[in-house]
Chains A and B, each alone.
Chain A
Amino acid sequence: MEMNTIVQDGMVIGGRKLKSRFFLGTGRFPSPAVFLRALEASGAEVITFAVRRINLDNYEDDGVLQHVADRELIYLPNTSGAGNADEAVRIARLARAAGLGNWIKVEISGNPRTLLPDPFETLKATERLANEGFTVLSYTSDDPALCRRLEDAGAAAVMPGGAPIGTGLGILNPYNLSLIAEEARVPVIVDAGLGSAGDAVQAMELGADGILANTPVSKAVDPVAMARAMRLAIEAGRLSRLAGRIPRKRYASASSEPGGRLFIPEAWEGKT
């Protein structure tokens, strides 16, 4: 029972209390049906989207929203495709005009090969959008000083990347991530670069408040199973973090008392 209450401890972003610490992306699933089952298995309350031009020649209602219209979810559109703050602000306003809330994930890539965020433009966009009343979640490099600046600019959450988007390289700089988690006054959602449930556990143990995953779920051999694995991993990692890990030591310490043992091995002479 106690374990359940700990696992279900919520977090608050932009005044919304979230039970689930898993944010699920909606891109590149094999089909809408698989996505819906993965969403179910993930327990996620927040799902992300991108804003794109419609195809003028052949417009079918292939928008992702039609499949989730009947669910109670928080919509987190992103500003992917923006290369600077102006473009991000424009995309954010378009997203808000769809009438699905005022959350926005600022995502501004400075390099098409790595898609790593442009810190200066990200900071500018965060400040402007926060001033316009958006609930801003900023996708950012895993830099503690930058995350602090984003908070000061009005970010409701910071989203440091573990590794470049879609690489599955996991958490490349655990030290930085733990520092960010230690210092942040807003929720820290690790976004991008995770490969599997193991990475999710690590992120949560390092002190992250939540995980955003898309590719590791949608491109897994079995996306529905991976969605569930991620959910359990996030719970396990969170619980492990709260439970408190033991300190790392250089040498072994036996699990049993030394007193009353039957033998003292010769090889141990002079080494205890």
Chain B
Amino acid sequence: MSRPLDFKLYVITGENYHPGRSMAEVMEAALRGGADIVQLRDKESPKRELIEKAKRLKELTAKYGVPLIVNDHPDVALAADADGVHLGQDDLPIEAARELLGPRRIIGISTHRIEQARAAERAGADYIGVGPVYPTGTKPGRQAVTTAYVAQAAAEIRIPFVAIGGITESNAEEVLRAGARRLCAVSAIVGYADPESVCRNLLEKINAWSLGEQAVVPASLPISVAQTLPERRDVREIALTVNGRSERTQAATLLELAAQYKLEGRSVVADLDGAVVPRQLWGETPLQGGCSVEFVHFVGGG
């Protein structure tokens, strides 16, 4: 790499969260809002199409001087001249990816516990993802690692780490308090009608914490935070009513709840405590204990 990698707000594409709006339009809004690293994630498209998407996105991110990372595929990253690749724990090992990509491109990897984070650092990753901090519709079924793991990573990991998974404007503070200084979001940004303002708000929170740290407790904060946190924290779970039924959920937002019932992408309308919630706001609509949600659709009738 020509310069040390750093960033604050990592935005990942999620085309299924913004039907009717193009990826370019949504990502440009995020970039205008201050996203300073972008990842193309698309588990559906064939590689040829993926390369085309990556090229278009690269043009856009280059305009803003922001690196473009491709999820999963080093070959696509190379073909589109992207700035790097993001790997999962089951993908190509970091060493093998480095062989393919050379020393100058960025390699990041998702980690779910501290052993994986240490291994990634040793293997030469440029950054790691730490998550999912909260349950998320983007990775349904994956156990949330909670802010406890964020605090561990903050205390110990020296390469940049980015907290990811179910992070929204409403819980960002909690993640920053645990020691994260870089946040990543998918649905909470691209699933929202105005990604630009969400990005601005998230950045403002990140900056507030970063500045506070420099001014008041330089360098020592992450460790002290880690020490004040309990060893394990239970995942937040709330009781609520869904379609008249008493349920418990770890979902933090309406979007995550919809994902839990596999309703994303279906013709369903949602109502929270008596008020309709437009679909593009599901991702940033937090759920409180005791709330009542209705998911409805049209059936035959006269």
Which A positions have Cβ atoms within 8 angstroms of B? Answer: 25-29, 35, 48-54, 56, 59, 61-66, 77-78, 80, 90, 93-98, 165, 191-192, 212-215
Contacts and interface: CB of A to CB of B under 8 A. Distances in A.
Contacts of A25: 300-302
Interface of B: 242-245, 261-263, 266-269, 271, 274, 276, 278, 294-302
B302 A48 contact: yes
B271 A49 contact: no
A78 B300 CA distance: 10
B243 A56 contact: yes
B300 A94 contact: no
- Top 7 A-B pairs ranked by shortest CB distance? A50-B301, A214-B302, A25-B302, A27-B300, A26-B300, A49-B298, A53-B243
B300 A65 contact: no
B274 A90 contact: yes
A54 B301 contact: no
A28 B263 CA distance: 25
B271 A94 contact: yes
A107 B301 CA distance: 11
Given A56-B261, A59-B266, A94 B301 contact: no
Contacts of B267: 61, 63, 65-66, 98
Contacts of B301: 25-27, 48-50, 77-78, 80, 214
Contacts of B262: 59
B288 to A, nearest CB: 20
A64 B278 CA distance: 21
Contacts, number: 100
B266 A61 contact: yes
Given A25-B302, A52-B297, 5 more contacts: A53-B243, A56-B245, A63-B299, A95-B269, A165-B302
A59 B263 contact: yes
Contacts of B263: 54, 59
17 contacts: A26-B302, A48-B301, A49-B298, A49-B300, A50-B300, A50-B301, A52-B298, A53-B295, A54-B296, A65-B267, A65-B297, A65-B298, A66-B267, A77-B301, A80-B301, A95-B269, A97-B278
A29 B296 contact: no
Contacts of A59: 261-263, 266
Nearest to A80: B301
A94 B242 CA distance: 15
A29 B267 CA distance: 21
A106 B266 CA distance: 26
A172 to B, nearest CB: 18
Contact of B276 (A26, A66, A93): A93
A32 to B, nearest CB: 9
Nearest to B275: A93
Contacts of A54: 243, 261, 263, 268, 295-297
